[in-house]
Amino acid sequence: MIPVLEAVPNFSDGRDEGFVEAVRGAFARAGCEVLHTTMDPDHHRSVVTVVGAPGAVEEGAVASARLALERIDLREHEGVHPRVGALDVLPFVPLRGMGMADAVRSARRAGARIAELGLPVYFYAEASTPPRRTLASVRRGGFEALLEGRGGCGEADLPGRDTGAGSVHRFAHPSAGAVCVGAREVLLAWNVDVEGLPHPAAKRIAAGIRETGGGFRGLRALAFHLPAQRRTQISMNLEDPAATDPVEVFRAIERVASRLGGRVVGTEVIGLGPDALASPAAAREMRIRDWSGERLLGSRVDTWLAGLGDDSRY
């Protein structure tokens, strides 16, 4: 079986389409297939979904890290989403013909090469030692705290090398921050839009449904007000959508929002969705915007593999 690795890099730029096109080109030249891109100006964040052979995905990830280092300055960055790096998060996900141990090896190889660029690297999820360090622990206080050495995890796992300034970046690069490199299973990244509620009320909903607040297992949730888009959203990552039904999470948000005098108006899926969203009834109930079978990760990977034929690269 052809080994297929997914990467879902998150960049701290959601306004420059030219930058995202450059990232797409970097992955394509490495031999990857870019399946989806998402940009958000209020989050000031872009998410790119790519698949390919492990070596190709690693190569594209390092090239995209170089682009982020060259073109994003966090000292001028303003967005609602937590971030510590220009290339903020770089997860590797084993899809076909690979196990988690293989994804961890890819994460560590790519992380070592990114550190050579001068960017400190913090490993998270299955790639950390010991495993399952959380993103929240790295991003506590944001780029500014990390730059001052006040981050939650101390010195980076791989301090950025000397790139000519005469010093090693042990916590964060002065303009590009650090990169959180991880290995994990497929998750659901999604936002639920609510109307008629002030931001503090939305924050109460997020606090109540996330796992750390006694809510749903594997759910991470924050509430954001998006001024340019004039909407408030519950922004979530669901780590195991096969074990925790996203429809049940959606219904819980609806119930609480209604009790507080607001209402849910729709759902946005970031990137591609897991098989848990394959049911048309679930997509309708959650009112997912711009939804189709083309947004399911499994079917897109199947289509890509079928189109490879006898391509010798794989």
210 closest CA partner among 236, 244, 245: 236
Set 36, 43, 44, 81: catalytic member = 81
What is the DSSP annotation of 95-154?
EES--HHHHHHHHHHHHHHHHHTT--EEEEETTSSSS-B-HHHHHTTHHHHHHTT-STT-
Measured CA distances, 154 to 122, 125, 167, 176, 307 (Å): 10, 17, 18, 18, 45
d(CA 125, CA 91): 9
What is the DSSP-derived secondary structure letter of residue 182?
E
Is 81 labeled as catalytic in the residue annotation? yes
d(CA 143, CA 149): 10
Cα dihedral 243, 233, 176, 130, rounded to 10, equals: -20
Instruction: Name beta bridge partners: 94.
Output: 5
Please report the sign of the dihedral spanned by the C-alpha atoms of residue 223, residue 221, residue 170, residue 12.
negative
**Crossing angle for the helix pair 54-71 and 100-116, to the nearest 10 degrees:** 30
Instruction: Name beta bridge partners: 40.
Output: 45
Q: What angle do CA 308, 300, 233 make, to 5 degrees?
A: 150
- Indicate which residues carry an active-site annotation: 81
